[in-house]
Amino acid sequence: MLLPLLWLISTAFKSGTENIFEFPPRFIPQEPTFRNFVNVWQTNPFGRYFFNSTLIATITVVLNLLFCSLAAYPLARLNFRGRELIFSLIVATILIPFQIVMIPLYILTVQLGLTNSYLGVIFPAIASAFGIFLMRQAFQNVPKELEEASRIDGCSELGIWWHIMIPSVRPALVTLAIFVFIGSWGDFLWPLLVLNRPEYYTLPLGVARLAGSFSLDWRLIAAGSVIATAPILLFFVIMQRYIVPSEASSGVKG
């Protein structure tokens, strides 16, 4: 699993005099250089691509955490007719491949005038069935006593969701944020459909342009891929320490 990643990083640091396709492969460059990264950054607007990907991924994560948790709370904690049916229908949509709904989504995006815009890229990903499922399961594990005590104190349903439920399911929120960030950052197909102006391109589209710009110079393509991949690894390293067992049950004694 790690060999392709190691080869990619090694290729990004190899000079033009080294054979990147030799067998067995040499993972330690003989003449390591940062020139490939400099060439990619100077000859392409990778700063703009980086900004676009960061903005889109950040907004997508925030909207997913908001809407998925709001949708999951009543499905987990409130009793109303048709609750299980609604939840089953939401989960069933996970079985539908994106390619099936891609054309209707594209037509809707065009009709709303969202092509060549950040909102057009974010629009289909503001909530997900997986996110609702994950948050519902997390909400169900919060002790009922905390919720009942809040109601006795006069807290509203929205207040219970914000002050009790959200702090209690922080590990699930972090997990969902990681999944959404990785999915949004690495998405290629949907941005390719709705964007045709380079100033709105994300990093995956920018890396794809390198194949034509440099006539398949794999050193530069590898450097661009490393630039696009590094933020995902950094985000996971920063966020993984928050993935710890919930301490909501510590507030209940006996």
Q: Could you identify the residue written with the tokens 């049950």?
A: 249
AA letter at 56: I
| DSSP-assigned letters across all residues of 114-139 | -TTSHHHHHGGGS--HHHHHHHHHHH
Nearest-angstrom CA–CA distance, 146 and 55: 36
Q: What is the pLDDT along the chain (254 residues), one digit of tens a residue?
A: 888 888 889 988 988 788 888 888 788 888 888 888 988 888 888 889 999 999 999 999 999 999 999 999 999 999 999 999 999 999 999 999 998 999 999 999 999 999 999 999 999 999 999 999 999 999 999 998 888 888 888 888 899 999 999 999 999 999 999 999 999 999 999 999 999 999 999 999 988 887 765 557 788 888 888 988 888 888 888 887 776 654 444 445 44
Write the CB contacts of 45 (distance below 8 Å, at least 6 apart in sequence).
198, 199, 206
How many Cα neighbours within 13 Å face the side chain of 28? 0
